[in-house]
Structure 1
Amino acid sequence: MAIDPYLVAATVLCLLVHLLLHRFLRKSPSRFPYPPGPRGLPILGSLLLVGASAHSSLARLAERYGPIMFLRLGSHGCVVASNADAARAFLKTVDAQFANRPDPISARDVSYQRQNLAMADYTPTWKLLRKMCSLHLLGGKAFVDWAPVRRDEFRRMARSLHGLAEAGEPVELMDVLVCTLANVVGLILVSRRVFDAHGEESNKFKDILVDMLTGGAQFNIGDFFPSIAWMDLQGIQKKMLSVHLRFDAMVTKLFEEHEAAKGERQGRLDFIDKVMANKVTEDGETISEVNVKALIFDLFTAGTDTSAIIVEWAMAEMLKNPAILSRAQAELDDVVGRDRLLEETDLPKLAYLQAVCKEAMRLHPSTPLSLPHFSHEDCEVNGYYIPKNTRLLVNIWAIGRDPEVWEEPLVFDPDRFITGKGARYDPQGNDFEFIPFGAGRRVCAGKLVGMVFVQYLLGMLVHAFDWSLPDGEELNMDEKFGLALPKAVPLKVFLRPRLSPAAYA
């Protein structure tokens, strides 16, 4: 195929412009210096240093350049916070300046052109969406109101697993978890279960999640060189458009069925009913149907995959450390007994189970790098100049493995959250040594729900069954980097019921 010489000349010209910008903009116009960081290559900057596993690559760079590090990524500046003090400086001291999001091309389609909660800027519409979620879905009263849904679906999962255990069939844990959580979210949002059972339909949904979480996390060349974004050199934009079209078809169908069944929900309004009934505020702010679709995308992705990933990692770590599994089961037997399934009201009495969940979140955070923040004005952070239009990444994975905070940070040890230093750290975003849900204005809106999902699911699984790997299989603990951080090889296990038969009825 012939190469257009005009295209080549235009590309070279763009690259030369980027090189000149790199040379002239690197000098700080402030009396404060830029943070330290690698010089990088002309034009590309430090893109090649990031690699396929950005969280670990950036952690290694931070060991050399420090916890506040500046990188030039193509034509964009990026600052990385890699320890608790650095995260506190950005997400508490100058949180307002970094409350916006950048506009990555790879996220535009799946976020409905940034009309969702995750990727929208810090605007009145974003605040309204967040308020709706807190009031009708994720806040204290709403959370209590939806407890029966969680109970019914988790018990349904236990019965389903009991049947597979009795039949001697292996279980791919992630499939079961995603199916269960998607049904919980579906019942709360639109009054219907999304899947009758884990299988072909739930696997299609899981494929959407996997494609979104892996594709959305890649460092897209087009985001850092906007002038050549149209080429889509890595195929990321095409992949993310496919994700959007598949999800939109699913959510459009749910919308249509939801509208057709509105006469059946008298007195039993779901989340979407409540949002649509309050979509215009007294101040004139409006939530559009596109906002609602984008919000549903957020809630399905954040409400299923992230919690499922933590539970899978926790189970894998306990299979690797059988003494931890036995201790968790002993605590559950003491509190719950063996004649019934775990209830959500039992969770506050299960200190060791809570510690296991926190340790899984520390060592294997579902979101290893925070969603990127974006500065809208110049600012000074810990004596460094940070120009406006700079991306901020908080390396949550590195913070959870900081040897200055955590003794033997690579060891899975739940006791660190009972008798160790971690006992005083709360995961809800107040203690920056442990921020699995992020912190600041853009802290995860579902942090309370996420903690209960993980504790309730893991507790149900550990209490109701004994677990073992297929004969001859070794436990693979490799990570697969993306927006989330799942196991590279899904956990496949055999189960054996450990409660009285009546408990599963």
Structure 2
Amino acid sequence: MAFTKTSSNVSSTNMAFSSITSSFPWSFLIALLAVLGTLVIHKLLNLLLIGYQKKKTLPPGPKPLPIIGCLHYIVGNKPAFRWIHSMMEKMNTQIACIRLGKVHVITVTCPEVAQEMLVKQDSIFSSRPVHMSTEISTYGYLTVALTPSGEQWKKMKRIVTSEVLSTQRHRWLQDKRMEETDNLTRWVYNLCNNDEGGIVQVRTVAQHYCGNVIRKLMINKRSFGKGMVDGGPGQEEIEHVDSLFKILGYINAFSISDYLPWLRRFDFDGHEKILRSALENIKKYNDPVIDERIHMWRVNKEKKEAQDILDVLIQLTEDSSTGAPLLTSSEIKAQILDLMLAAVDNPSHATEWALAEMINEPKLLQRAVEELDEVVGKDRLVQESDLPKLNYIKACAREAFRLHPVSAFNVPHLSTKDTNVAGYFIPKGSNVFISRTSLGRNPNIWEEPLKFKPERHLNPDGSQVVLSDPKLGLLSFSTGRRGCPGVQLGSTMTTMLLATLLHGFTWTVPQPMLSSSISLAEAERDLTLSKPLLGLAKPRLAKNVYPML
């Protein structure tokens, strides 16, 4: 009887257990264990990866704090580029690693290391990082210069290289460039009060010449309004150019949200608000012109020849049989802005610095003028056809690019996989900044690197001077897959701007001034002259040579 009772109990227990097991959510438990196991494995792999990276020696740099890395140094030392160069000099290194948030920022001041990255390992370093400033200014990465590698970048690079900045297109747009060169001469001549001479702010003249040229090439407009009677910019053009330079001042700045993305909503450094305001100003002037032209070509289907780059971009089709547009309205607007940004700063910056250096060294100024008088004469104005023979003028421009680059660092590159450079481990996802100032002022490459010596660029065989340098002794237009496709346009604009100012006018220090020379001090926040260059300009050609209003 006891055995029977026990068997009955066991049977009841088995039945209860069977009931429980049949209703228990075993699939959920298995899934939960799988998730937990995955998390544990992921954590272990991360720890192994960190250990692996530690075994691989990163470039030297300041010790990072948890979470924020070295952002406290960037925030507390403005401008960041001066602190970075000072830190690298104190550490006696030409390649450094500064961890900002989770991002490894690699800074390079050595031409050999720069060549290894941009030439030998170009395929690894040819992408761009995703930054708040570049996302905004490219309409969400629709352009060529700042867009990360991928199908969109390939598409836009193909279009810009073959349809916008080709040699054939450069020749096609020559008359528009010369029209703006004539307008530059006319404007400065009017500022001179005829033969009496007048004080000219060179920065303003140079920046608006560049703005006029690129607007004329892109949308066939010098002025959005009436402009000024003397040939200078109206309020609309002043706002347009100022907004372009505002965007350029914040593109790829060291913004907190680029390295701690979850802080972007707070815009602690105010960069996003400034950028969006500047972009709205640009849209206010660009968009109506572009929208009207798109309507004319695609809706009204007007039949006429293209007049500018905007017409060219609108008329591009995916397939000749269907005639479907290749570019959307947003892509056209973004690429037009991209080209405007690329054209306004480098030529104007180099010309202001070159002229300031040359006013302080009258012998250099005289040599440049003698070359112009020999090649061009004094009975006509400079033409683009004269440029191949103006080697000393180009040497002056190249020397300005070397000694006074437009920005401290080149547009950053992104490493797309782990690699080694100069014996150091560079992790995938690193942001690479090449120092323009350190390359151009490197004492191992340049004799008397801080002295303005244009003759150092003249070739012994008399061959043409070019403004780019594939060996990266200076960084004017970069190199590799991300080299600037607008080298020809940028070189032409720079040389024509400098040659026109030197050929048409004499330049001296305005009197009375506290000093007999121009101060060559750099601004604290960037690499411009601390004070915009003021020069006393006087016409040096016969009156009939200057284009009249």
Q: What TM-score comes out, normalization by structure 2 length?
A: 0.81
Partner of 1:239: 274
Q: Within 2, Cα distance between the matches of 1:181 and 1:463?
A: 18
Matches within 5 A, 1:209-288: 209-259=244-294, 266-280=304-318, 286-288=326-328
Partner of 1:204: 239
Report the CA distance between 1:346 and its aligned residue.
Answer: 0.9
Partner of 1:495: 537
Q: Within 2, Cα distance between the matches of 1:454 and 1:473?
A: 30
Asked whether the 8 Å contact 1:74–1:225 carries over to 2, the reply is yes
Over residues 177-214 of structure 1, what are the superposed CA-to-partner deviations in whole Å (9 max), with x where a residue is unaligned?
22222222222222222353323222212320232122
Matches within 5 A, 1:139-178: 139-166=166-193, 168-178=197-207
The structure number with the bigger radius of gyration is: 2
Question: 1:57 pairs with 72, 78, 83, which one?
Answer: 83
Amino acid in structure 2 at the alignment position of 1:498: R
Partner of 2:504: 464
Q: Within 2, Cα distance between the matches of 1:424 and 1:38?
A: 44
**1:29 partnered with 2:53:** yes
Question: 2:211 pairs with 182, 190, 199, which one?
Answer: 182
Matches within 5 A, 1:53-452: 53-63=79-89, 64-166=91-193, 168-194=197-223, 196=227, 197-259=232-294, 266-280=304-318, 286-418=326-458, 427-452=467-492
Amino acid in structure 2 at the alignment position of 1:57: W
Amino acid in structure 2 at the alignment position of 1:479: E
Please state whether the residue corresponding to 1:71 is helix, strand or coil.
strand
1:183 and 1:279, CA in 2 relative to 1: closer, same or farther beyond 3 A? farther
Q: Within 1, Cα distance between the matches of 2:62 and 2:258?
A: 20
Q: Within 2, Cα distance between the matches of 1:373 and 1:269?
A: 35
Asked whether the 8 Å contact 1:38–1:65 carries over to 2, the reply is no
Tell me whether 490-499 or 210-219 shows the greater mean CA deviation.
210-219
Tell me whether 142-151 or 454-463 shows the greater mean CA deviation.
142-151
Amino acid in structure 1 at the alignment position of 2:344: T
Please state whether the residue corresponding to 1:454 is helix, strand or coil.
helix
Q: Within 1, Cα distance between the matches of 2:188 and 2:54?
A: 61
Structure 1 residue runs of 5 or longer lacking an equivalent are 1-21
Partner of 1:477: 520
Amino acid in structure 1 at the alignment position of 2:541: L
Q: Within 2, Cα distance between the matches of 1:142 and 1:255?
A: 20
Please state whether the residue corresponding to 2:192 is helix, strand or coil.
helix
Q: Within 1, Cα distance between the matches of 2:47 and 2:84?
A: 23
Asked whether the 8 Å contact 1:36–1:65 carries over to 2, the reply is no
Report the CA distance between 1:305 and its aligned residue.
Answer: 2.2
Q: Within 2, Cα distance between the matches of 1:425 and 1:37?
A: 38
Q: Within 1, Cα distance between the matches of 2:527 and 2:241?
A: 15
Q: What TM-score comes out, normalization by structure 1 length?
A: 0.88
Q: Within 2, Cα distance between the matches of 1:158 and 1:203?
A: 19
1:57 and 1:314, CA in 2 relative to 1: closer, same or farther beyond 3 A? same
Amino acid in structure 2 at the alignment position of 1:280: E
Asked whether the 8 Å contact 2:350–2:405 carries over to 1, the reply is yes
Asked whether the 8 Å contact 2:131–2:252 carries over to 1, the reply is no
Asked whether the 8 Å contact 1:112–1:290 carries over to 2, the reply is yes
Tell me whether 250-259 or 297-306 shows the greater mean CA deviation.
250-259
Tell me whether 375-384 or 403-412 shows the greater mean CA deviation.
375-384
Amino acid in structure 1 at the alignment position of 2:506: D
Please state whether the residue corresponding to 2:287 is helix, strand or coil.
helix
Q: Within 1, Cα distance between the matches of 2:302 and 2:524?
A: 43
Partner of 2:23: none
1:217 and 1:103, CA in 2 relative to 1: closer, same or farther beyond 3 A? closer
1:382 and 1:34, CA in 2 relative to 1: closer, same or farther beyond 3 A? same
1:432 and 1:265, CA in 2 relative to 1: closer, same or farther beyond 3 A? farther
- Identity among equivalent pairs (%): 29
Report the CA distance between 1:254 and its aligned residue.
Answer: 1.8
Report the CA distance between 1:285 and its aligned residue.
Answer: 10
- Cα RMSD after superposing both structures: 2.9
Partner of 1:4: none
Report the CA distance between 1:91 and its aligned residue.
Answer: 0.5
Q: Within 2, Cα distance between the matches of 1:420 and 1:46?
A: 48
Asked whether the 8 Å contact 1:98–1:374 carries over to 2, the reply is yes
1:128 and 1:281, CA in 2 relative to 1: closer, same or farther beyond 3 A? farther
Q: Within 1, Cα distance between the matches of 2:133 and 2:49?
A: 26
Asked whether the 8 Å contact 1:125–1:286 carries over to 2, the reply is no
Report the CA distance between 1:450 and its aligned residue.
Answer: 0.8
Amino acid in structure 2 at the alignment position of 1:33: T
Asked whether the 8 Å contact 1:33–1:384 carries over to 2, the reply is yes
Report the CA distance between 1:49 and its aligned residue.
Answer: 4.3
Report the CA distance between 1:245 and its aligned residue.
Answer: 1.4
Asked whether the 8 Å contact 1:313–1:364 carries over to 2, the reply is yes
Q: Within 2, Cα distance between the matches of 1:424 and 1:292?
A: 36
Asked whether the 8 Å contact 2:134–2:252 carries over to 1, the reply is no
Q: Within 1, Cα distance between the matches of 2:492 and 2:183?
A: 17
Please state whether the residue corresponding to 1:242 is helix, strand or coil.
helix
